Structure 1
Amino acid sequence: MRFPGPPGCIASITVSLTSLNDTMAFWRGVLRPLGFGRIGEWSGCVLWAGEQAQLLLQEADEPSKRLIIMLRAKTRQVVDAIHATAVREGWPVVETPAPKFIAPGYYSCVLAVPGEPSIRITIACAWDGLPERADAALVRIPGADPDVVLGGYLFRPEMQRGGAVIVLHGYASNAAETAGTGRLLAAAGWTALCLSQRGWIGSTGREDQGLRQPDDVLCAAEWLQRETGNARVGVLGFSQGGQVALLAAARDRPFAFIVAYFPCTDLRTWPQQAKANGIEYYLEDFVAPEDIARCSPVSSAARIGAPTLLIHGEEDCIVPIKQSEAMVAANPAIQLFRVPGGEHGLREHHGVVWPTVLAFIDRELEATR
């Protein structure tokens, strides 16, 4: 059998148990429905293998402590079936099957290994791609690189006004999370393309913090123009999506407008300004030093000619409003709508913010007729 997993994945896990024999039925009942099978057995050890991982079980005087292993199921039905087996066999159930806000479409149950309560097994499923929607077409669009295909939802209005909007999600999100915005734009008469950025659910490639993602937006704009006949295309982005929208606006292609909600505009100053933990480590590990300026919209702000509106909460601790203020300082033509008391996400302020955003979009798309 081929050694499992692509480079960088956790290919194998070793679990120490007091007794292999006493837990054999448990492992068989959990692992077989997930596609694992035994490929090796010798004194005190059993090796199970699936398509993407190996699990080595070994007897030891000291069992593994506080160990949590998550195993991927293909469907919710598999999660439910394994849980039902655990209930029938009397195996310890720590958490019954339920959705959780961990990953898109996430659904799991948690079991404890019989006789080894500190070893827990999570059986989970999550989306592999964007789910179908009744109110939008699921689309696939070539990205800026040969290995990148962008997934998304295309919302078509009942009464077409002759303009289109690309909607970009923030970090760790996807097009399904922005579908509500696409629906609102379509209700206002505008075609909306809610796009999953490269590296996130529905799209291929690797997330790159704004390095090549803006070029994907240019590809999406060209596709949208060909597909719908709309020559006037604007971009609306949230958080990292706002950052990418601003970077795309500084490229050569003209956009009708840019709306950027709470965008990061200067990666160099962001870690010192934010109160959130881990930002400096993320940038250190995923953004090369020579790419910091290229991924920072403030570096190319003067090149943005499209009408641009920034939306930012004054109490944003993740991406402080100083990031948007720096963008305005670099290009005074950019407008900033400040939201008193607003935090990152501005979910509680949608009723205040959206009329301003929609009026801006209406004005700029109508102006380019």
Structure 2
Amino acid sequence: MRPRPSFAGAAVEVSDLGRSVAFHRLWLPMLGFRRVWAGPDRVMWARGYDHFVMRQARDGVSYGPGALWLAVSAESRAQVDQVFAEMRDAGAEILQPPKELDYFAPGYYSVAFRDPDGVPIEVAHRWDELPEVSDAEQVRVPGHGVTLGGYLFRPQAGAPPHPALILLHGFAGHAHNLVGLARRATANGYVALALSLRGWLGSEGESDQGLRQPLDVLAAIDWLAHRPLVDPRRIGLVGASMGGQVALLTAAHKPPIGAVAAYFSPTDLAAWREANPFIRDYLDDLCGPEGLPVRSPLLRVAQIDTPVLLIHGDRDENVPVEQSLSMAEALRTHGKDVETLIVSGASHYFTEQEYGVALRKLFEFLRRHLNRS
């Protein structure tokens, strides 16, 4: 059993953001923290789902109520509620009653209040492991030197063996994010393995933005191919953002798969670094310049023989649409089988309507390449 973390997150206001970044990067990387996001007035460091935010104080003044924000972990949601009741009865200023938050960490439920000196404190419960899903088998899948957590969904009709999909999430995600897509897949006749990539909820190891994660997926393909309900000749990969990048890199190893679909995925990390200044610190700290090419599917197109579908919004503010357009052009230049769906007006986060358009294209593509016996 891994020890429960006591630290959930913290934020501080600093008088000089540049000076503070230079100072804190002397020690935070030693503890496994990486700069995952940077903006003009704030920087976020993360270690898995633990986070540390530095904000530039107004007028360079950082010493006063609100200059520090601290979040500590609770053992359960009931404990969060208990803290709330205690603080309310003590007359503390309640900043936020207990509620679920769509936050960096999964399953986040918290209460926030001020201490007598005005410092904001948050008490939060978040998932330590993947939660159970009633209509799926929770599985442990061998990866490349690590064990991966996930869910195995079975089709709702039809006799085995079935075509199968491995579903891969984006940065800071996990297998539970993929439950809805997995259910859509089973309704269309597929076995679906929703998988947490290394370093994310339910899986061992550290996230590496596509370095060893494709080797984990290769091992997962072999594991899935040996399930008795799966037709090993009809397996496909579907990934979003980092998951799509990992799916494309996996395909370059020439595994026995029949299709790959990638949603709004980075394909040329050097170009992505130049196009999006907010992820430069993250890529520099994690990869370094020498680590970008090996993580770039665009440089591996000659090795990809599997039919590819690339889906992207033309207003993506995180991963520019040029990442998919360049990948598609390179694949076509090498005589590869590639299709694209560019969703007009869509950002990196599809609306329900945009997601529906993409799903129709996805399953039409998969039927053509995986539903043949």
TM-score interval for Structure 1 and Structure 2 normalised by the shorter chain: 0.7 to 0.9
Of the three residues 244, 247, 272, the one matched with 2:249 is 247
Is contact 2:8–2:124 with CA below 8 Å preserved after alignment?
A: no
Normalised to the residue count of structure 2, the TM-score between the two structures is 0.78
Name the counterpart of 2:221. Answer: 221
How many equivalent pairs are there? 310
Cα separation, 2, equivalents of 1:12 and 1:351:
37
Greater RCO, CA 8 A, separation 6+:
2
Aligned positions of 1:254-273 closer than 5 A:
254-273=256-275
Tell me by how many angstroms 1:272 deviates. 2.2
Tell me by how many angstroms 1:12 deviates. 12
Map Cα deviations across residues 329-365 of structure 1 (whole Å, 9 max, x no partner): 2210222122122211323402222111101111111
- Percent identity over the alignment is 40
Is 1:206 aligned with 2:206? yes
Map Cα deviations across residues 208-246 of structure 1 (whole Å, 9 max, x no partner): 000000111111111111124420210000011100000
What runs of 5+ residues in structure 2 fail to find an aligned partner?
12-62
Name the counterpart of 2:367. Answer: 362
Is 1:297 aligned with 2:301? no
Cα separation, 1, equivalents of 2:83 and 2:287:
41
Cα separation, 2, equivalents of 1:255 and 1:184:
20
Map Cα deviations across residues 144-190 of structure 1 (whole Å, 9 max, x no partner): 01xx2111111101224621000001111111111100000001110
Cα separation, 1, equivalents of 2:9 and 2:369:
52
Tell me by how many angstroms 1:5 deviates. 10
Cα separation, 2, equivalents of 1:186 and 1:262:
23
Name the counterpart of 1:69. Answer: 70
Is 1:351 aligned with 2:356? yes
Runs of 4+ residues deviating >4 angstroms: 9-13, 62-65
Name the counterpart of 2:178. Answer: 178
Aligned positions of 1:274-313 closer than 5 A:
274=276, 277-313=277-313
- What amino acid does structure 1 have at the position aligned with 2:188? A
Cα separation, 2, equivalents of 1:11 and 1:363:
46
Q: RMSD in angstroms over aligned alpha carbons?
A: 2.4
Of the three residues 337, 341, 346, the one matched with 2:341 is 337
Cα separation, 1, equivalents of 2:367 and 2:254:
23
What secondary structure sits across from 2:312 in the alignment? Answer: strand
Tell me by how many angstroms 1:89 deviates. 2.1
- What amino acid does structure 2 have at the position aligned with 1:280? R
Distance 1:10 1:285, change over 3 A: farther
Is contact 2:236–2:259 with CA below 8 Å preserved after alignment?
A: yes
Cα separation, 2, equivalents of 1:87 and 1:12:
23
Of the three residues 239, 242, 259, the one matched with 1:237 is 239
Distance 1:79 1:242, change over 3 A: same
Distance 1:5 1:364, change over 3 A: closer
Is 1:153 aligned with 2:151? yes
